[in-house]
Structure 1
Amino acid sequence: MTDLPLRRGLLAGIAAVAASPALPAFAQRGAALPDFADLAERVLPAVVNINVSGSNVGSAGRRAPQDRPRGPGAAPQIRGAGSGFIIEASGFVVTNSHVVGTASRVVVGLQDGTELVARLVAMDELSDLALLKVDSRRPLPVVPWGVSSSMRVGNWVVAAGNPFALGGSITVGIISARGRDIGAGPFDDFLQTDAPINPGNSGGPLFNTAGEVIGINTAIYSPSGASAGIGFAVPSDLARPVVEQLIRGGRVERGWLGVAVQDASEAGRGTRGAIVMGVERNSPAARAGLRQGDVVTLLNGEPLETSRALVRGVALLPPGQTVRLTLTRDGRPQEVAVQIGRRPANNG
């Protein structure tokens, strides 16, 4: 796996951004480009700036030049900035967990200049998502979730957020690729976009042209520290159920099989799917009779292209649910029913 030099959060200075790439052929021929002004006007009120401070605010933070220890032995204060968006009028705000880190103070800034102190409800580091709550005397503007699986490579998207702590901004681009694994965690399934995303955009929404959130901007590939036209967003289909669990109970419960797996193609099997490299003792997989060497090709009838697809698919299911695995063992296909367990907290 190729490691990408990912830059998250706010940099100390503002880097120059290269000129925009050449217009596509249809624009050169004089066809009208889409106008995103109405969309921006509609969604920006629900996009927020997030300012954090504390002795450790995570990778979104930076040490500000004016920050100094406040007394003998005092830890230096670190300030950082990121983005987020409001999903409920009562004040629930979604952002990245690396934006808030272990901040001692989080302030959410609205587009009209209002600043509200936020409380961290919960976070899920495996998906890099955090849920904040602010209190307001009036209902807050919200943006709706969209369906990321409906997005196609080439579809227009709009990224909104707080780049370089400059405040509410939008950039426009397309979906460049789907299903990207960038080595950030076990459930990598990122949308890739060329909409310029810069430090400070972390946690901000990626919209489709209907103004629905289909991704959460999380990381960039950048040799320079500024946008290189390759950004990554957590897809809404992964983020939404995580956020809903955080709202309900403050934690995320994921399904678990208890197997070590590898891509079957990488193991020289000449097929797609996940080859079982090991089975944990007393795990759901062990109780169901899975064995080392089994090649799992379908999960509840859905084809599995890779081992990561199996891990993700099981993790999205509630513990206790019985799933049907189609596998090949000793050259013969068979089906195995497995009652999945609860993913251990230390199983990252």
Structure 2
Amino acid sequence: MARRLSRLSVIAPLALACVLPSRHGARAQDAAPVAAAPPPAAPSLFAPPVPPVVSSGPLTFAPLVRMVGAAVVNIAVTQDVHGQRNGQRVLPSVRGTPFEHKFRERMRSHGEEMLGAGSGFVIDPDGIIVTNTHVVGDADHITVSLVDGTELPAHLIGSDDLTDIAVIKVQPPHPLPFVRWGDSRLVNIGDWIMAAGNPFGLGSSVTAGIVSARGRDIGTSPFDDFLQLDAPINPGNSGGPSFNLSGQVVALNTAIVSPTGGSVGIGFGIPSEIVAPIVEELRRNGHIDRGWLGVTLTDGGDTHVPGVEIVGIDRGGPAMKAGLHIGDYITAVNGEPIDSSRMLIRSIAAKRPASTVMLHIRRHREALSIPATVGFRPDDTDD
């Protein structure tokens, strides 16, 4: 369309030249009659061309792959079967990959059963690796494969089931290539990302796409707050990183939409603003202590009253000790407004157990502020 428009702009001046006086000096009144003006053109269906809103995307991701690829590792996990040969198996997803032969050999020589395989990434040259909890699971043995084929045994430093974040450690013979965190709070919908993994012993795997949503809740836990990544994230890439174009990790690849078991191009990553502090806590303590109130909540209460309604209170729990009642509406925590039960759960969970928070509530028509001592969140609770 751009070429066609430029050609028309050249033709129009040439058409005007035919009504000028000839070289024989004819007077204006002797000139040929001027044709009637053509009717105005119909309005175009297309807007006139304008400069692009965004600059062109990267022509190649090769420099980015060279910068960060060596820090992305493969993780394989096995479990002892104590001589029960019938229980040994190789996962269907591993069949036909280099892992199948490798782990059949391990099964024969060590009596191990393969539990799973995934990816991870090095964040410290001393061998600290981040991955998903569902990758390392209940493994008896964790084996990390580097991009150069080196295999190293790893041990679990700590994991968090609620966010699906785990930290493992290897003892490398030399400092390892590593990557750094980027700030996912600066990521915009529409930004380029590169998702990386090291699945099934095949070596590095990278795909590119864009961030298509923030704050996705896919129903896996009360702490869901995913970036939706419209880039192919294949099985075996769980635990791998997603990078911004500066080579910084902005998400931990965790889940995919998969009606068929394979990638359909929609994946979910835990943003670095969540992952990085949890990783540091796991490195320090090996576990995460979260705050807990001991209440059952609903978002479907009186629409004229802000906040979330308490519909149940655990006997002897922090809420009961603080004097909260069924039917109270919690409207804010430490002055921060609360508009959903999910928001309240996450706000309290972020508080240190044994710390005190100020709960702002409405009881009937009365506004109250009640201090409450936060308890330790049980492992099996959703509130």
Shift in alpha-carbon separation, 1:197–1:329, aligned structure 2, 3 A:
same
Distance, in Å, in 1 between the alignment partners of 2:53 and 2:337 is: 42
2:307 matched to 1:278? no
2:247 matched to 1:211? yes
Shift of 1:147: 2.6
Partner residue of 1:128?
A: 164
Shift in alpha-carbon separation, 1:27–1:202, aligned structure 2, 3 A:
farther
Distance, in Å, in 2 between the alignment partners of 1:182 and 1:160 is: 22
Matching residue's letter, 2:155: R
Matching residue's letter, 1:126: L
Distance, in Å, in 2 between the alignment partners of 1:28 and 1:236 is: 31
Partner residue of 1:287?
A: 321
Shift in alpha-carbon separation, 1:192–1:280, aligned structure 2, 3 A:
same
Shift of 1:315: 1.0
Q: Deviations over 1:70-114 (max 9, x none)?
A: 68xx97722532110111121111111111112222211222322
Shift in alpha-carbon separation, 1:181–1:31, aligned structure 2, 3 A:
closer
Matches within 5 A, 1:25-174: 32-34=56-58, 35-54=60-79, 62-63=91-92, 67=104, 77-78=113-114, 80-163=116-199, 165-174=201-210
Shift of 1:159: 1.1
Matching residue's letter, 2:377: R
Counterpart of 1:241 (choices 252, 277, 283) is 277
Q: Work out whether residues 79 and 115 of structure 2, in 8 Å CA contact, stay in contact via their aligned partners in 1.
A: yes
SS of residue in 2 equivalent to 1:232? strand
Gaps (5+ residues) in structure 2?
1-49, 82-89
SS of residue in 2 equivalent to 1:90? coil
Partner residue of 1:308?
A: 342
Q: Deviations over 1:52-84 (max 9, x none)?
A: 22269xxxx82555649968xx97722532110
Counterpart of 2:292 (choices 238, 252, 256) is 256
Shift of 1:27: 12
Shift in alpha-carbon separation, 1:277–1:87, aligned structure 2, 3 A:
same
Q: Work out whether residues 190 and 233 of structure 1, in 8 Å CA contact, stay in contact via their aligned partners in 2.
A: yes
Matching residue's letter, 2:329: V
Shift in alpha-carbon separation, 1:275–1:32, aligned structure 2, 3 A:
same
Q: Work out whether residues 68 and 76 of structure 1, in 8 Å CA contact, stay in contact via their aligned partners in 2.
A: no
SS of residue in 1 equivalent to 2:342? helix
Identity score, percent: 47
2:207 matched to 1:183? no
Q: Work out whether residues 164 and 198 of structure 1, in 8 Å CA contact, stay in contact via their aligned partners in 2.
A: no
Shift in alpha-carbon separation, 1:55–1:190, aligned structure 2, 3 A:
farther
Shift of 1:335: 2.5
Q: Work out whether residues 197 and 204 of structure 2, in 8 Å CA contact, stay in contact via their aligned partners in 1.
A: yes
Q: Work out whether residues 68 and 77 of structure 1, in 8 Å CA contact, stay in contact via their aligned partners in 2.
A: no
Q: Work out whether residues 273 and 306 of structure 1, in 8 Å CA contact, stay in contact via their aligned partners in 2.
A: yes
Q: Deviations over 1:105-137 (max 9, x none)?
A: 221122232221111222221211211110012
Partner residue of 2:262?
A: 226
Shift in alpha-carbon separation, 1:151–1:68, aligned structure 2, 3 A:
same
Q: Work out whether residues 256 and 340 of structure 1, in 8 Å CA contact, stay in contact via their aligned partners in 2.
A: yes
Shift in alpha-carbon separation, 1:284–1:50, aligned structure 2, 3 A:
same
Distance, in Å, in 2 between the alignment partners of 1:151 and 1:135 is: 34
Superposition CA RMSD, Å: 2.9
Q: Work out whether residues 204 and 217 of structure 1, in 8 Å CA contact, stay in contact via their aligned partners in 2.
A: yes
Distance, in Å, in 2 between the alignment partners of 1:181 and 1:98 is: 18
- TM-score w.r.t. the length of structure 2 is 0.74
Distance, in Å, in 1 between the alignment partners of 2:363 and 2:231 is: 45
Distance, in Å, in 2 between the alignment partners of 1:105 and 1:87 is: 21
Distance, in Å, in 1 between the alignment partners of 2:307 and 2:243 is: 32
Shift in alpha-carbon separation, 1:301–1:93, aligned structure 2, 3 A:
same
Distance, in Å, in 2 between the alignment partners of 1:124 and 1:102 is: 13
Q: Deviations over 1:174-233 (max 9, x none)?
A: 221122221212321222110211101101112223322222111111112222222111
Distance, in Å, in 1 between the alignment partners of 2:236 and 2:134 is: 11
Distance, in Å, in 2 between the alignment partners of 1:315 and 1:104 is: 30
Gaps (5+ residues) in structure 1?
1-25
Whose RCO is larger (CA < 8 A, sep 6+)? 1
Q: Work out whether residues 301 and 308 of structure 2, in 8 Å CA contact, stay in contact via their aligned partners in 1.
A: no
Distance, in Å, in 1 between the alignment partners of 2:199 and 2:366 is: 54
- TM-score w.r.t. the length of structure 1 is 0.81
Distance, in Å, in 2 between the alignment partners of 1:167 and 1:312 is: 37
Shift in alpha-carbon separation, 1:324–1:254, aligned structure 2, 3 A:
same
Shift in alpha-carbon separation, 1:321–1:137, aligned structure 2, 3 A:
same
Shift of 1:163: 4.4
Shift in alpha-carbon separation, 1:146–1:28, aligned structure 2, 3 A:
closer
Alignment length (residue pairs): 316
Distance, in Å, in 2 between the alignment partners of 1:170 and 1:52 is: 22
Greater helix content: 2
Distance, in Å, in 1 between the alignment partners of 2:70 and 2:211 is: 24
Distance, in Å, in 2 between the alignment partners of 1:192 and 1:108 is: 27
